[in-house]
Amino acid sequence: MITLFHRPKTRSSRVIFLLEELEAPYQIKLVTTRARDGTGAADPANPHPHGKVPAISDDGAIVFESPAIALYLTDRFPKNHLGPLVGERDRAAYLSWLCYYTGVLEPAFMSKFMNVEVPRGTAGWVPVEEAMPAIIKALSPGPYILGERFSAADVLYGTTFAMFGQSSMMPKSAVIDDYVQRIVARPAFGRAQARDNG
C-alpha cells in the first residue's frame, strides 16, 4: 500500500488526485513542514530529504518530488493508463513534459512569484512568458498534454494552473482556461479535494 506523506493544500494534494485517478490503494500520513518564512521544523516522520511534501512510501521504497512520484505510480499502477509505458508511442512526450514541469515551469513561476530576474546565462531558465506559450502550443490540439490521452502530466500542470487561477502569473488564455475546467471536472479531482479537506 502507498503511504502519502501529506500536508493539506500543498503540492502533495495533487498526489491524492493522481492516486484517485489510478484507483491505487493508499493511506495519508499527515506531516508538518517548515513555514514559508522558514520557521518551524520538518517532521522527522517525513522521509523527504528536506522535509518537504510530497513524498511516498511503497512498502518501504521512498519516492519524492512530484514528477518522480507521477512516473513511479503510473508505472506501478498501469491499469488506468495514466502514463505511457516503456515502448509505447507517447512515452517520450510523457517523460519530456514531466521533466519540463520541474525543470522549466516551476523555476519560471517561482522566479516571477519572487520577482527575481531569470538568470538565463548561467541557469538556462526561461521566464513564464516563454514557458507558457510552449505549454499552450502543446495543449492546443487538446484536450490534454498528450492529445486525447489524460495522463499524470495533466495532474501536475492542471492542478498548478488551477491553483494560480486568475493571478498575474498566468497569461490570459482560453486554451488554459478550458484545460483547467476539464481537469477540475474530473471525478477523481473532486474525491481528492474531499480527502485533502479532511
Cβ-based neighbour number of residue 188 at 10 Å: 20
* Number of helical (H) and strand (E) elements in the chain, helices listed first: 9, 4
Cut 0.85: pTM above it: yes
Q: What is the mean pLDDT of residues 7-32?
A: 96
Length of the chain: 198
| All domains of the chain in start order, with CATH | 2-82+189-196 (3.40.30.10), 91-186 (1.20.1050)
Q: What is the pLDDT of residues 112-171, one digit of tens each?
A: 888 887 766 666 778 888 999 999 999 999 899 999 999 999 999 999 999 888 777 788
CB contact set of 10 (below 8 Å; sequence gap of 6+) = 33, 53, 54
Question: Which residue shows C-alpha cell 523527504?
Answer: 48
Burial of 157 (0-12, 13-18, 19+ CB in 10 A): buried
